[in-house]
Amino acid sequence: MAEQFQKATFAGGCFWCMVKPFDQWDGIEKVVSGYTGGTVENPSYEQVKTGTTGHYEAVQITYDPKVFPYEKLLEIFWQQIDPTDAGGQFQDRGSNYRAAIFCHNEEQKRLAEATKQQLAESGKFKKPIVTEILPAKPFYPAEDYHQDFYKKNPNAYHEDRAKSGRDTFIASHWGK
């Protein structure tokens, strides 16, 4: 049974805002908030937020590609971020809040690069698409209080998300 599942890893700024868009679909087994891409083994939130570990706040999605293909995950990902911002995402600034796609295999890399090119050619954004496509690195789950934050702390989640400007940006670029 476990063989049917694959992993996808995306960084899109604050990981609290990146769970819910993926968490509500058939074929998604789980979405875990965590840290990846850095040099410190098993970092804490306190270490990552300093920006000195090289880690990104990210989500790792376990999914069934027969039910929910990677292409659909990419479509959702691109619509959650500002792909033209290399300095963080929305109100969250710094290297730990950069957007990136972490590829677990060559097929994911090929699809990620293709969708990035399509987005660049779409004319949807006036600035260049700078979101990085990188090889997957070890993923470290964040502390328990970060997991499913939108479910555990709905008021704080909605307040933070509203303050961030993310939803306004998404609506203006994707009409949602």
Spatial distance between the Cα atoms of 86 and 69, rounded to a whole number of angstroms: 27
174: closest CA among 44, 80, 90? 80
For residue 16, report the phi and psi dihedrals to the nearest 5 degrees: -55, -40
Spatial distance between the Cα atoms of 57 and 40, rounded to a whole number of angstroms: 13
Neighbours of 1 (CB within 10 A): 5
CB-based contact 53:40 (threshold 8 Å): yes
One-letter identity of residue 114: A
Active site residues: 14
Spatial distance between the Cα atoms of 90 and 97, rounded to a whole number of angstroms: 9
